[in-house]
Amino acid sequence: MAKKDYIPKEIDDIDTFFETWKNNIAAVLAALGLALTHADAAKAKVADTRLKFTAWMDIKAQAQSKADAFYASLKDTLETFRPYNQNLKTTTGYTPILGGTIGIEGPEETPFDETNAKPKGKAIYEGGQVTIKFNKPRQVASVEIKCKRGADTAFSFVADDTNSPYNDTRANLDAAKPENREYVLQYKNKAGALIGQPSDTVKITVA
């Protein structure tokens, strides 16, 4: 028998956990010879937390819907906005100073250093998977992701991704134990060759 009570670590699992508890606590109390009122205080807390969780998920869904609408509108706007400004720059008498007054003259780009370019990565564990977020300059075709986990002594290929983030949905080697993982990222050019330098090691523990 476990010495400690079990509470899920993942937020998405908490509500399901509470629902299971609520649906079965009466049977447990009956088996133990305890009155149903024995759990009243705990049931009230569980109900309040579940209401707040539902309210949070509703707002989260609404926020995602608003975000989707914004990005769709942004894409539509830029399809007209960019060609207009590009055409404006070809007009006789146009100068960068004039364009700067409406903000269409950005800073000069720093030349891409193919020898020393180094990805920056971040790992987050959520929803039962590891999400790897990374930066990718436009001069880069893709990002190679390698991983070392558990008792592995060397990094092995996981994915070649063109857009951040990458979701590592692999189950732990030992489902009964937390697993330490290390990730390393490196840029690739259009020919598929590695360029630049490997990223710093990104470490995370998968429950």
Same domain, 139 and 170: yes
Q: How far apart are CA 151 and CA 131, in angstroms?
A: 21
- Helix locations, the chain, DSSP H: 11-31, 40-88, 96-100
**What's the CA gap between 121 and 124, in Å, rounded?**
10
Q: Clarify whether residues 71 and 147 are in a common domain.
A: no
- Does residue 47 form part of some domain? yes
Per-residue pLDDT, 133? 93
114 in a domain, yes or no?
A: no
Where residue 139 sits, what CATH number does that domain have? 2.60.40.10
Main-chain dihedrals φ then ψ at residue 84, nearest 5 degrees: -60, -50
Give the burial class of 172: count Cβ atoms within 10 A of its Cβ; 0-12 exposed, 13-18 middle, 19 or more buried: middle
Tracing tokens 């880069």 back to the chain, one arrives at 140
Short-list 58, 37, 45, CA closest to 18: 45
From 108, 141, 157, the end of a domain falls on: 108
| Residue 47 shares a structural domain with residue 130 | no
40 and 70 assigned to the same domain: yes
Q: Are the C-beta atoms of residues 44 and 72 closer than 8 Å to each other? A: no
Q: What is the total residue count of the chain? A: 207
End-to-end CA distance of the chain: 20
In a shared domain, residues 80 and 129: no
Residue 140 buriedness (CB in 10 A; 0-12 / 13-18 / 19+): buried
15 is in which domain, residue-wise?
8-108
pLDDT averaged per 10 residues, the chain (length 207): 74 91 96 96 96 94 95 96 95 94 85 91 88 91 93 91 90 88 94 93 91
The structure tokens 């780009």 sit at: 109
Same domain for 58 and 92: yes
Number of structural domains in the chain = 2
Q: What would the two tokens of residue 41 be?
A: 């205080």
Angle 11-31/40-88 helices, nearest 10 degrees? 170
For residue 138, the Cα-to-chain-centroid distance in whole angstroms is: 21
| Residues 141/194, Cβ–Cβ less than 8 Å | no
How many Å separate Cα 50 from the centre of its chain? 24
Q: Which of 163, 156, 165 is nearest to 133 (CA)?
A: 165
Is 133 in the same domain as 81? Answer: no
- Residue 3 within any structural domain of the chain: no
In a domain, 113, yes or no: no
* Number of CB atoms found within 10 A of residue 34's CB: 13
pLDDT at residue 173, rounded to an integer: 87
